[in-house]
Structure 1
Amino acid sequence: MKRNFLIAFVLMSINVFAQNIKFSDSISLVINEQNTIFVKAVFNKIDTLNLNFDTGTTELVLTNDVLKNKLKSKPKLYNTIYNLKIGDGNYKTKVYDAELSGHGTDGRFGWDLFKDKIVELNYDKNLMVVHSELPKNIERKNKFTKLKIEFFKDLFLVESKIKQNGVTNKDLFLFDSGYQRTVMLDNDLLQQEKFPTEKMEVINKVILKGAQGNEIPVITSNLKMLKIGKYKLNNVPVQQLTANKPLRDKNIHILGNEVLKRFNIFLDFQKNVVYMKPNSLFNVKYIDRKKNDI
């Protein structure tokens, strides 16, 4: 009896120690000309893939072409759990299909793989780092702005402000590293809040493709000011969504990766907080501005 108690105590101590191990897993992060960020990952222990880290989605999504023509694995969609190795970490996820993914990628994985962790996106060092706890002094460094995460269903949002001709609107924006452009503004929400869209200079009108290959008519206009936390971005070419909204039951604006890449970021999914500070890309020209300058 005494011996069994000792064994139980030792096992309990080992388990507590294991739970308190601190780690930081650094993974090479690629960002291409289209603002798609991706890492190498191994699916089901045999398939090496380039996967977009898409904070605007959940679990794992692979393109139909990859599912049919590239994988050695033959995954069952929607219900079966598979292993996805990213860096030194092994994550459990279901698999979904889509027609498209970010340029140069085989699919995308969502933020929810890291629900109990902190994810760092360091564009200066081209690193994605998964931490077991928030690095010390991040909250004390004045250069970081702190944003509270708000959840809508399985997606997360942060508060930001837009300003045009003296009118300022404050709203929650979907934090979407999978959206390759700057900001997608919801037209219904703009009208509801009487934002002066008619005074925004029109830069371009195009048709974009959604993840399922659906066509989305989009107007690109000049926004005088976007404010994220304490940081301001002036004269941002933003997209105005007129139809085929990404969320059917909510009018919502989107922060895309052409804006997000201008910050080094800590996504704290333990306390549900985002930390952001400007990096070396903060003042680079926007894609639509480059086209407009030619």
Structure 2
Amino acid sequence: MKRTITLILLLASTYSSIAQEEFIAPSRYLSSCGFTQLTGGVILLRARLEPFPDTLNFILDSGSGGISLDSVTVQYFGLKPVPSNRTIRGIAGIRQVSFVHDQVLKLPDLSIDSLEFHVNDYSILTSVYGERIDGIIGYAVLSRYILKIDYDSNKIEFWSRGSLKYPRGGYLLRPQINMLPVQSLRIKDERTITSRFLFDMGAGLNMMLTSDFIKDSAFMRKKRKFFTKQAEGLGGKIDMQLSVIKEVKIGPYRFRNVPVYIFDDTYNVTSYPYLGGILGNDLLRRFNIILNYDHRDIYLLPNSHYNEPFDYSYTGMELFYENGHIVIGDVAKGSPAEAVGLKEGDIVIAIDRNFNQSIQQYKLAIQNAGDKLKMIIQRGPDVFEYSLKVKSIL
């Protein structure tokens, strides 16, 4: 008799648990907005800060643990930041931040209230992308909604939290999410290793690996070539090494000969050995993605960009938009750019007869390995023409 009672109680408990799951309210469509893809697939979307009428540019960043505004934007609106003892950490520095409290972000048909924006200087991002960057949208918004990101249509849909049926043909990741999503991946070169990586949609690259991870794992082939390259992030600019690894495997999806950056994690962004590095959006943009932080789900569905070739180009120079001009930034020693005589601070007038001064188009122009480019450069009062061959890192 006791066994019967116990079994009945167990069945009742199980049924109650299942019933509770069945009665979770379904997710509801709330809003949608278009977005622009910047270099490396980084998402730029537009929103307003109420009650102001100005449209602002925000980067969508799963690698951000909050939400932020650029210091110039804060000053423009006359907002009064409140100092704090909190710091934010990036690949190139650590900064103490202030906050503007209880703000409202306005998207089409959707107002997101009670937001605590931290204030940061994003002038470097504005310079890199040639677009005014007013802020970054991270966990503070991503945790409140289900986001469906479609790189085929360049559209994001916002859905309420709740039960959701994922489309067929994709794969469900179950990352660890403690403000930032962390996913286990298998990577292969000299050795095959499984490690944890930050799922970072704000990083316009395929992968970043820490130099400590590379040394401790003896992961990369000894004959790999490394190319010096400058990268930009929170805190400013930092020199890295660019190379290629044999394979990256995300769930069932394999990518071969993947370009990677290797950096000295001076500011302990990855808390190594907890993380081996960062998985960036130049690889992730090859999927339409559903972010469901409430259920700790990230759903990947291969899209029309899935089989696009990787960028193996190398010139050894960076382009920035500064004071109304496109200028050459750092020129790496021993690089093709240095070999032909290009210098930091040179103003780019045209590349291959394209005089339109679009930094996005110019960056695309120098990303075709093997191409020979004609560059018209202004240096002081003088104008020069240079012929530059784009090298391949493969």
- Partner of 2:64, secondary structure, is coil
The answer to whether 1:35 aligns with 2:64 is: no
* TM superposition shift of 1:99: 2.5
Q: CA, structure 1 residues 246+197, in 2 after alignment: closer, same or farther (shift >3 Å)?
A: farther
- Larger mean Cα displacement after TM superposition, 265-274 or 284-293: 284-293
For residue 151 of structure 1, what is the aligned residue in structure 2? 177
Q: Which one of 165, 168, 181 corresponds to residue 136 of structure 1?
A: 165
For residue 270 of structure 1, what is the aligned residue in structure 2? 294
Q: CA, structure 1 residues 79+120, in 2 after alignment: closer, same or farther (shift >3 Å)?
A: same
* TM superposition shift of 1:260: 0.9
Native 8 Å contact 2:33 2:155 kept in 1: yes
For residue 357 of structure 2, what is the aligned residue in structure 1? none
Q: CA, structure 1 residues 137+63, in 2 after alignment: closer, same or farther (shift >3 Å)?
A: closer
Q: Distance in 1 between matches of 2:70 and 2:217?
A: 37
Q: Which one of 257, 262, 272 corresponds to residue 240 of structure 1?
A: 262
What TM-score do the two structures reach when normalised by structure 1?
0.82
Q: Distance in 1 between matches of 2:215 and 2:151?
A: 35
For residue 178 of structure 1, what is the aligned residue in structure 2? 202
Q: Distance in 2 between matches of 1:277 and 1:223?
A: 24
Native 8 Å contact 1:27 1:127 kept in 2: yes
Deviations 1:253-289 (A, max 9, x none): 1011111111100111121011102111112233344
Q: Distance in 2 between matches of 1:22 and 1:242?
A: 44
Q: Distance in 2 between matches of 1:248 and 1:163?
A: 20
Native 8 Å contact 2:67 2:140 kept in 1: no
Native 8 Å contact 1:223 1:236 kept in 2: yes
Q: Distance in 2 between matches of 1:170 and 1:65?
A: 42
Deviations 1:215-234 (A, max 9, x none): 32211101111111110111
Q: CA, structure 1 residues 20+265, in 2 after alignment: closer, same or farther (shift >3 Å)?
A: closer
Deviations 1:92-119 (A, max 9, x none): 3112222323622222110331324211
1:60-139 paired onto structure 2 within 5 Å: 60-68=67-75, 71-76=76-81, 77-78=98-99, 80-91=101-112, 92-100=114-122, 101=125, 103=129, 104=131, 105-132=133-160, 133=162, 135-138=164-167
Q: Distance in 2 between matches of 1:21 and 1:225?
A: 36
Q: Distance in 2 between matches of 1:246 and 1:284?
A: 33
Q: Distance in 2 between matches of 1:198 and 1:134?
A: 48
Q: CA, structure 1 residues 62+246, in 2 after alignment: closer, same or farther (shift >3 Å)?
A: farther
For residue 361 of structure 2, what is the aligned residue in structure 1? none
Q: CA, structure 1 residues 267+123, in 2 after alignment: closer, same or farther (shift >3 Å)?
A: same
Native 8 Å contact 1:119 1:129 kept in 2: yes
- Unaligned runs of at least 5 residues, structure 2: 1-24, 82-97, 314-366, 372-394
- Partner of 1:78, secondary structure, is strand
* TM superposition shift of 1:193: 2.3
By relative contact order (CA 8 Å, sep 6+), the higher-ranking structure is 1
The answer to whether 1:228 aligns with 2:250 is: yes
Q: CA, structure 1 residues 112+279, in 2 after alignment: closer, same or farther (shift >3 Å)?
A: same
Identical aligned pairs, as a percentage?
24
Native 8 Å contact 2:48 2:55 kept in 1: yes
Native 8 Å contact 2:149 2:288 kept in 1: yes
Could you list the structure 1 runs, at least 4 aligned residues long, displaced by more than 4 angstroms after superposition.
none
- Unaligned runs of at least 5 residues, structure 1: 1-18
Aligned letter for 1:170?
T
* TM superposition shift of 1:164: 0.6
1:193-212 paired onto structure 2 within 5 Å: 193-202=217-226, 204-212=227-235
Q: Distance in 1 between matches of 2:297 and 2:63?
A: 16
- Partner of 2:39, secondary structure, is coil
Aligned letter for 1:145?
Y
Aligned letter for 1:220?
L
Native 8 Å contact 2:177 2:296 kept in 1: no
Q: Distance in 2 between matches of 1:124 and 1:94?
A: 32
Aligned letter for 1:33?
T
What TM-score do the two structures reach when normalised by structure 2?
0.62
Q: CA, structure 1 residues 75+257, in 2 after alignment: closer, same or farther (shift >3 Å)?
A: farther
What count of residue pairs does the alignment treat as equivalent? 267
The answer to whether 1:50 aligns with 2:57 is: yes
